[in-house]
Amino acid sequence: MSAYDPIARLYDPWSASVVEDVSFYVEEALAAVAGSVAGQADEARPGNRAPGAPAGGLVVELGVGTGRIAIPTALAGVHVIGVDSSRRMLEVCAQRAREAGVESLLDLRLGDLRRPPVDERVLLVTCPFRAYLHLRDDAQRLQALRAARELLRPGGRLVFDVFAPSREDVEETDGRWLEREPGIFERADWDLEARRLTLSVRGPQGASRMTLWWLEPERWHALLVEAGFVVEGCYGWFDRSPYSGGEDTIWVARRD
Ligand SMILES: C[S@@+](CC[C@H](N)C(=O)[O-])C[C@H]1O[C@@H](n2cnc3c(N)ncnc32)[C@H](O)[C@@H]1O
């Protein structure tokens, strides 16, 4: 069972204030679709389009969750294959997609992002909101990054965000239950030596505890290169400002 299963109904109210990344990822998807539409003449040749791939373009989101990003992306007209290891999160995502009238644009697949059940080849793979931090070591990270690269057509991009905590963040939050949203409490237990965060959450719709492992940006850069990517950019925020030492990094990596 996934640690997200018990909080599938809590996830959206828990992350209600996380909105800054949505337009960023929607823009990335629209740009990728524009690229594939521009290449449509090539795609239209027999055998050139991946089986089942829509002519207008398709993106893959790894760790799609409840569709916080995928549903706005679909509402913008982009087809999304969403992979997640939590059956319950996918159920919420499917319900939200029906309510938004975009179920035909979302193809939800239960699976592990290290071995995504995706045969299609696309111009954009995303892994938003720190989902890669659930990978515990470099072997798992490399497996995931290589798997993402395999999904990309030449010239396609992997875009994802991760974080590494600041000392102030650790000091302010360590071991304390904090009310993140009304009635929803979150507790962070930081192990600086192991670079491991145990994150607990409880609220009216459920409770869970999950583990995240962080890395310094230099390590993410090195892993991306080792996985065969060309690192095109590293932003420090979703407004595309360059990384300059904060907690968040947003990576754009290309398959040549
Ligand atoms: C922080 S949530 C992000 C959800 C969504 N992308 C968003 O931006 O709101 C992380 C998601 O990654 C999924 N996840 C974690 N580890 C995974 C794995 N190994 N394979 C597939 N999904 C995974 C979780 O089930 C969860 O839905």
Residue to mutate, 21, 26, 84, ligand 1, most ligand atoms under 8 Å from C-beta = 84
**Angstrom distance (rounded) from CA 19 to CA 255:** 28
Residue to mutate, 64, 124, 158, ligand 1, most ligand atoms under 8 Å from C-beta = 64
Q: Torsions phi, psi of 34, nearest 5?
A: -60, -40
The answer to whether residues 82 and 195 belong to one domain is: no
For the chain, what is the domain count? Answer: 2
CATH number at residue 98: 3.40.50.150
**Angstrom distance (rounded) from CA 251 to CA 218:** 12
Sequence-distant (6+) residues with CB within 8 A of 72 are 22, 23, 26
pLDDT at 35: 79
The answer to whether residues 147 and 188 belong to one domain is: no
- Protein residue closest via CA to atom 16 of ligand 1: 134
The answer to whether residues 222 and 187 belong to one domain is: no
Are the beta carbons of 99 and 66 closer than 8 angstroms? no
The answer to whether residues 46 and 29 belong to one domain is: yes
The answer to whether residues 72 and 179 belong to one domain is: no
The answer to whether residues 159 and 236 belong to one domain is: yes
The answer to whether residues 148 and 186 belong to one domain is: no
Q: What is the pLDDT along the chain (256 residues), one digit of tens a residue?
A: 999 999 999 999 999 999 999 999 999 999 999 977 555 444 433 333 444 556 547 999 999 999 999 999 999 999 999 999 999 999 999 999 999 999 999 999 999 999 999 999 999 999 999 999 999 999 999 999 999 999 999 999 999 999 999 999 999 999 999 999 999 999 999 999 999 999 999 999 999 999 999 999 999 999 999 999 999 999 999 999 999 999 999 999 999 9
Distance (angstroms) between ligand 1 centre and the Cα of 214 equals 15
The answer to whether residues 137 and 172 belong to one domain is: no
The answer to whether residues 100 and 188 belong to one domain is: no
Nearest atom in ligand 1 to the alpha carbon of residue 86 is 25
Are the beta carbons of 67 and 93 closer than 8 angstroms? yes
Pocket of ligand 1 (CB under 6 A): 2, 4, 15, 63-65, 68-69, 83-86, 89, 112-114, 128-131, 134
Q: Which domain holds residue 193?
A: 167-211
Model-level pTM? 0.93
